[in-house]
């Protein structure tokens, strides 16, 4: 079993040692038999009140077997507790050699081996050289929960991009040579095509062309309508700058003979789509390659996202195919970054904002600033203290385990509750790592500590949220797991309660029938006596 720290291993080992001591005391003093005595007394009372029945006998046997099973698996310490290593499991992008606890040593290999040697000496000294024994169920719970936590932490990223898809798309820009390329296309193709359409009486939103909001350089009208991008018979538009990859263009000009090999003056249609024999140099293909990597990796899903926002047939028909729609969405949709907020501000963004709201926010900001130092110290100390408190809490829980089982009559539902709580505490470091991710990324997500959408309040906001994951997050998680454990324990013992209830109900039913028969016989005898007297 691999532990996060020496303190973790020491706290759990000491708790298990105390558990074994308390178990030995219960066995030697005979107190362990109290649940058995209580069981036999309760069943003896039922026997005297209801009489013997197979249901009653079966309930006694089943309860006895359950107690013995709980002893053997969940309480009796007979499995040897072993510690294989003490080390931390970093998140995906972390280098273990950069962690403070290991950077103290000059060599990472020495740091990995040193805790094991210290651990052996310390535990032998504290536990007086005796091997620590543990109930198998407790051992399995500790090992599995620790392994699950380690694997979960190792898969956590070092930061998370919590921007919405729209927010990231809105920040995707065309830059460098490609931007100049697009500007040239606007100059020689798109704007002239728009002007020609107006001269011919074709205006956006009047049937042929869509509304202005859906107009863009790759609209099918300009590409597919003769006399626009195709430059058919010299009627249309073409690039006035030679570009590589268009030597086979249909647009043959006198100047083309003096161009270097591979260059040409493509028509606007060829310029956008590329030549049919080689679309690699088309502007659309270059723009598609400039989209974010995650868009290209999951093209079909992103296209479904794009089409899900279509609100008219005009918008649906404003692109030739899937990649056209993606390029339009990423680079040619109207954008306003102010429309995308990292978080809602219910103080100023919602409702009717007035002078009182701004005054309250200003006073609140001043208060946060004045208390920034003590609050920051408090949150920092929580992050330092939390890993130290965890083994001490486990120590208390493991110490209370055996006495609690005794007073709970070694019932399965109590075992399930303790197991769930113990496993949840072992998982706390995952929540703390999650808190660190929040602390690392919340400022970037909201725009920064000083110039973000909420000003300097964001610096303390990140501290408060991280503190929540370190303090209240584990409490809520353990409370939820404990509740699930109790519910599971109740389900495990439900069948036993049903059987007992059925036995009691059956016995009561038999007594009722017997009493009813006696009453009917008495009434019959009275009627017969009266008839004989007459």
Residue 301 binned pLDDT confidence (cut-offs 50, 70, 90)? confident
Residue 110 has pLDDT above 80, yes or no: no
The SS3 call for residue 209 is: strand
Residue 97 binned pLDDT confidence (cut-offs 50, 70, 90)? very low
Which structure tokens are listed for 89?
């499991």
Counting every residue, how long is the chain?
534
- Helices and strands per DSSP (H, E), number in the chain: 22, 6
The SS3 call for residue 85 is: strand
Query: Exposed/middle/buried for 65, CB within 10 Å: 0-12, 13-18, 19+?
Result: exposed
- Lowest mean pLDDT across 24-28, 214-218, 303-307, 378-382: 378-382
Integer Cα distance of 3 and 97 in angstroms: 18
pLDDT in tens, 492-534: 555 445 444 444 444 454 454 345 445 444 544 454 454 444 4
Which structure tokens are listed for 472?
């209240």
pLDDT in tens, 176-223: 778 888 888 999 999 999 999 989 888 887 777 877 877 888 888 888
- Residues 249 and 288: beta-carbon distance below 8 Å: no
- Lowest mean pLDDT across 225-234, 323-332, 367-376: 367-376
Which structure tokens are listed for 359?
């005054």
Integer Cα distance of 74 and 96 in angstroms: 36
pLDDT in tens, 392-414: 888 888 888 888 888 888 888 88
Contacts with 126 (C-beta within 8 Å, 6 or more apart), sequence order? 10, 13, 14
Percentage, residues of the chain above pLDDT 70: 62
Residue 452 binned pLDDT confidence (cut-offs 50, 70, 90)? very low
Torsion of CA 99, 102, 106, 111, to 10 degrees: -140
- The angle formed by the CA atoms of residues 31, 37 and 43, to the nearest 5 degrees, is 160
- Residues 94 and 158: beta-carbon distance below 8 Å: yes
pLDDT in tens, 273-285: 888 766 788 888 8
pLDDT in tens, 155-179: 776 555 444 455 555 556 677 778 8
- Whether this prediction's pTM lies above 0.95 is answered by no
pLDDT (0 to 100) of residue 165? 52
- Which residue is it, tokens 């000491």? 14
DSSP 232: B
Residue 457 has pLDDT above 70, yes or no: no
Beta bridge partners of 243: 264
Strands (E) in 172-287, as ranges, are: 243-244, 263-264
Q: Which helix (H) or strand (E) holds 86?
A: strand 85-86
pLDDT in tens, 355-377: 766 676 677 666 656 665 666 55
Beta bridge partners of 79: 134
Give the mean pLDDT of the chain. 71
**Dihedral over Cα of 280, 285, 289, 294: its sign:** negative
- Lowest mean pLDDT across 26-30, 189-193, 385-389: 385-389
- Residues 229 and 236: beta-carbon distance below 8 Å: yes
- The angle formed by the CA atoms of residues 386, 143 and 146, to the nearest 5 degrees, is 35
Q: Where are the domains of the chain?
A: 2-161+389-441+476-492, 166-339
Q: Which helix (H) or strand (E) holds 248?
A: none
Which structure tokens are listed for 353?
């904002």
Residue 76 binned pLDDT confidence (cut-offs 50, 70, 90)? confident
Pairwise pLDDT comparison (264 vs 128), residue with the higher score: 264
For residue 481, which of 406, 402, 428 has the smallest C-alpha distance? 428
- Which residue is it, tokens 């017997």? 514
pLDDT (0 to 100) of residue 493? 54
- The angle formed by the CA atoms of residues 166, 437 and 87, to the nearest 5 degrees, is 145
pLDDT (0 to 100) of residue 192? 92
Residue 117 binned pLDDT confidence (cut-offs 50, 70, 90)? very low
């Amino acid at each position: 079993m691999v532990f996060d720290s020496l303190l973790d291993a020491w706290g759990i080992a000491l708790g298990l040692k105390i558990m074994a001591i308390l178990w030995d005391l219960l066995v030697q003093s005979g107190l362990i038999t109290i649940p058995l005595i209580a069981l036999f007394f309760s069943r003896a009372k039922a026997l005297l009140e209801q009489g013997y029945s197979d249901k009653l006998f079966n309930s006694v046997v089943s309860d006895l077997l359950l107690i013995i099973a709980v002893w053997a698996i969940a309480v009796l310490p007979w499995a040897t507790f072993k510690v294989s290593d003490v080390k931390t499991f970093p998140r995906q992008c972390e280098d273990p050699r950069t962690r403070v606890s290991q950077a103290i040593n000059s060599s990472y290999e020495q740091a990995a081996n040193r805790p094991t040697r210290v651990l052996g000496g310390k535990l032998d000294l504290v536990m007086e050289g005796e091997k620590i024994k543990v109930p198998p169920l407790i051992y399995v719970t500790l090992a599995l929960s620790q392994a699950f936590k380690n694997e979960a932490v190792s898969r956590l990223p070092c930061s998370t991009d919590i921007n919405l898809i729209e927010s990231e798309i809105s920040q995707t820009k065309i830059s460098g040579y490609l931007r100049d390329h697009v500007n040239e296309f606007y100059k020689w193709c798109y704007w002239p095509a728009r002007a020609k359409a107006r001269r011919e009486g074709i205006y956006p939103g009047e049937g042929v062309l869509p509304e202005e909001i859906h107009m863009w350089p790759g609209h099918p009208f300009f590409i597919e309508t003769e006399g626009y991008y195709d430059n058919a018979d010299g009627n249309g538009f073409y690039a006035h700058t030679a570009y590589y990859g268009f030597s086979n263009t249909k647009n043959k000009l006198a100047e083309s003979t003096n161009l270097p090999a591979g260059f040409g003056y493509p028509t606007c249609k060829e310029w956008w789509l590329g030549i049919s024999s080689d679309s690699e140099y088309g502007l659309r293909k270059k723009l598609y390659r400039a989209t974010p990597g995650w868009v290209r990796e999951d093209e079909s899903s992103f296209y479904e996202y794009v089409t899900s926002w279509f609100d008219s047939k005009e918008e649906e028909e404003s692109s030739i195919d899937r990649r056209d729609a993606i390029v339009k969405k990423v680079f040619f949709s109207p954008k306003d970054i102010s429309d995308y907020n990292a978080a809602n501000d219910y103080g100023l963004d919602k409702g009717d904002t007035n002078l009182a709201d701004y005054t309250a926010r200003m006073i609140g900001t001043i208060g946060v600033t004045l208390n920034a130092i003590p609050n920051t110290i408090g949150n920092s100390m929580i992050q330092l203290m939390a890993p130290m408190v965890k083994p001490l809490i486990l120590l208390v829980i493991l110490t209370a385990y055996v006495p609690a089982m005794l007073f709970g009559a070694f019932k399965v539902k109590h075992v399930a509750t303790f197991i769930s709580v113990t496993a949840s505490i072992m998982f706390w470091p995952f929540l703390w790592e999650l808190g660190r991710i929040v602390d690392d990324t919340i400022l970037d997500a909201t725009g920064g500590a000083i110039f973000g959408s909420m000003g300097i309040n964001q610096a303390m906001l990140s501290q408060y949220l991280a503190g929540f994951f370190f303090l209240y997050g584990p409490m809520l998680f353990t409370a939820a797991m404990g509740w699930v454990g109790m519910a599971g324990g109740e389900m495990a013992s439900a069948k036993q309660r049903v059987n007992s209830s059925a036995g009691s109900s059956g016995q009561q039913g038999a007594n009722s029938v017997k009493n009813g028969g006696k009453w009917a016989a008495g009434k019959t005898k009275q009627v017969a006596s009266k008839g004989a007297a007459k």
